[in-house]
Amino acid sequence: MKNTFSLKVKDELSRLEPGNSCCLRSELLGFLRAGAVLEVGQSGIQVIATTESPSVVRRAFMLLKRTSSLKVKISCEPRRIHNHNLYAVRLFMQPGLKEFLKRLGYLRSDTDLEKTVIPRKGCCRRAYLRGFFLGAGSMTNPERYYHLELVTGSRKHAAHLIRILRVFDLHARRVERKERQVVYLKEGDEIAAFLTVIGAVKSRLDFENVRVVKGVRNHVNRVVNCETANLNKTVKAACRQLGAIRFLVGRVGLDALPQPLQEVARLRLEQPEATLKELGLQLDPPLGKSGVNHRLRRLEEIAAGLKAQQKKVFR
């Protein structure tokens, strides 16, 4: 089984203390709607929910035992392709199954899935979302990027999820993927809030820690990139200035230049790696960065003018 962030969240949720009976039913309803399949046969109906997490299986078994007297069968099937086990929770046909599923809100009639009943109380809505995440929720490793989703095969269920999430100021979106409805959150703040809503407090702290580290790392990278860009810009400017000054030395000599330009030109030749501020402090009287830059730019303009004249002569 892959040790993903999603499974860590589900493992934490599966260990939460059971709440009120109404919340237990709502969590079970969310779990069954998200991850269960209703099979109808000649002998009756049965409900099967599968998961990769043994913690989720234990949670589902507890929910069923706390809310009903039904017999529950748990099975495990090795999956060689993905190198993990697939666990199944099975409610096989038995007396009281249909009545229980109807009371729960999972069935509308003997074989029709209920698509309208959703919890009304705030605590039950939190439990419903928790159950839905346990059944068909996932989130990416926050070290990569932020994305959380709840998957369902029903448009109505997706609409209900979005409506419930909005109660908690979570603005989810919906997209269709391979005939499945995907309700998702992409903002880090909203994903953190969702984890709190469903009771995954430790996972939220882990999520926030990753966000802080990423934020610091991104800030450092931006600063380094900015400083590198500024340094490259400074080096290119210094090389350009040195080229212009050396051209002037070879063409007319520094003595032919005005005294202020001579001073800056000699300093630049002697100290090619110095900053404008460092050059300005060595002048008498000292000169600011803009003043030094103006004189160096003037030297470049004179050199460019002489080069242009030289091209005309050779044409």
Domain count, the chain: 2
Q: Quick one: 83 and 10 in the same domain?
A: yes
Which pair of structure tokens corresponds to residue 129? 């979302």
Residue 160 identity: H
The Cα-based distances of 301 to 21, 294, 295, 296, 304 in angstroms read 84, 10, 10, 9, 5
Give which of 226, 241, 227 is closest to 276, Cα–Cα. 241
Whether 91 maps to a domain, the answer reads: yes
- Rounded CA-CA distance 274/264 in Å is 12
Bridge partner list, 36: 49
Report, as an integer, the average pLDDT of 21-48.
88
The pair phi, psi for residue 175, each rounded to 5°, is -145, 150
Contacts of 302 (CB under 8 A, 6+ apart): 244, 248, 257, 261
Comparing 39-48, 56-65, 97-106, 194-203, the range with the smallest average pLDDT is 39-48
pLDDT value of residue 256: 84
Contact call for residues 75 and 87 (beta carbons, < 8 A): yes
pLDDT value at position 135? 92
Residue-wise pLDDT tens digits, 84-128 = 788 888 998 889 998 999 888 888 754 444 445 678 889 999 999
Please give the pLDDT value at position 258. Answer: 87
Question: Which of 199, 217, 238 is the C-terminal boundary of a domain?
Answer: 199
On the question of pLDDT at 314 being above 60, the answer is: no
In this predicted model, what pLDDT tens digit does every residue of 166-197 receive, in sequence order? 999 999 999 998 888 999 999 999 999 999 99
User: Among the listed ranges 27-31, 219-223, 238-242, 264-268, which one has the minimum average pLDDT value?
Assistant: 219-223
Q: For residue 129, what pLDDT is reported?
A: 95
Instruction: Show the domain range for 290.
Output: 229-314
Q: What is the pLDDT of residues 228-259, one digit of tens each?
A: 888 788 888 888 888 888 888 888 888 888 88
Same domain, 264 and 125: no
Does 97 lie in the same domain as 151? yes
Averaged confidence pLDDT in the chain: 86
- Same domain for 160 and 66: yes
State mean pLDDT over 266-273.
Answer: 85
Angle, alpha carbons 248-250-256 (nearest 5°): 50
